[in-house]
Amino acid sequence: MMRLAVVDAGGANLGSVVYALQRLGVEPELTTDAAVLHAADRVILPGVSTAATVMRRLRELALVDVLRELRTPLLGVCVGMQLLFEHSAEDDTACLGLLPGRVTRLREGEGVRVPHMGWNTLAPVRPSPLVAGIGAGAQAYFVHSYAAPVTDDCVLACAHGDAFAAVVQRGNVAGAQFHPERSADVGARLLRNFLENGL
């Protein structure tokens, strides 16, 4: 049986993430225990808060180095994805540094409001087992004011004014800026791919 650990980083979406995983037939373990994370087959880092708040909680729990050292597949969701990068402009926050790049605030403009809230179209950038079966034109649900750049690690991109990374992956580390638990079939497919295919 797969051991799936969900990091209890204090985000408001923890319950909905756990429920989405249960709908896929997996019973995740909500944890702040380093030993549980090291023993897991898959780890998910959700977050609905600010980058500084979640990083502070991870430091208090002594989980920063644990997450940096993981060799099992790790999926960051929403703020959890942003924390995978080196730095966030949100409160000038040093992040986990598992992926190169800096998270910046989305730019407002004519017809472009921040935060970016609602459904938006995903654009494939490169193949990855994480997005198998998610084609061009698929839509996902977003709620965010900060975003990661489109780099070599970007798998799916999106645009809200400027383009940004919607899904990233490098080695065992991956992230989704959108909310899989609120993105219907697309979100369920991404979670299922992560559970079944790894990275």
Domains of the chain: 4-197 (3.40.50.880)
- The mean of the pLDDT values for the chain is 94
Residue 11 has a pLDDT of 67
Length, in residues, of the chain: 199
Whether the Cβ atoms of residue 95 and residue 53 lie closer than 8 Å to each other: no
Residue 48 pLDDT greater than 90, yes or no: no
| pLDDT score at 12 | 61
Give the pLDDT confidence score for residue 46 in this predicted structure.
92
Dump pLDDT digits (tens) for 136-187: 899 999 999 999 999 999 999 999 999 999 999 999 999 999 999 999 999 9
CA dihedral 7, 143, 163, 147 (to 10 degrees): -40
Whether 198 has a pLDDT exceeding 80, the answer reads: no
pTM of structure: 0.96
* pLDDT exceeds 90 at position 109: no
Q: Tell me the pLDDT band of 197, cut-offs 50, 70 and 90.
A: confident
How confident is the model over 73-92, as pLDDT tens digits? 999 999 999 999 999 999 99
The per-residue pLDDT for range 88-108, each reduced to its tens digit, is: 999 999 999 999 999 999 999
Model pLDDT, residue 76: 96
Q: Which among 65, 153, 141 is positioned nearest to 102, based on CA atoms?
A: 153
In the chain, the percentage of residues whose pLDDT exceeds 70 is 98
**Which residues are identified as catalytic?**
78, 179, 181
The pLDDT value given to residue 30: 94
User: Is residue 14 over pLDDT 90?
Assistant: no
Greatest extent of the chain over all pairs of C-alpha atoms, in Å? 51
pLDDT given for residue 74 in this prediction:
98
Q: How is residue 107 annotated by DSSP?
A: P
Q: Which residue has the higher pLDDT, 2 or 128?
A: 128
The Cα 165–Cα 27 span in angstroms is 29
8-12, 39-43, 68-72, 89-93 — which is least confidently predicted? Answer: 8-12
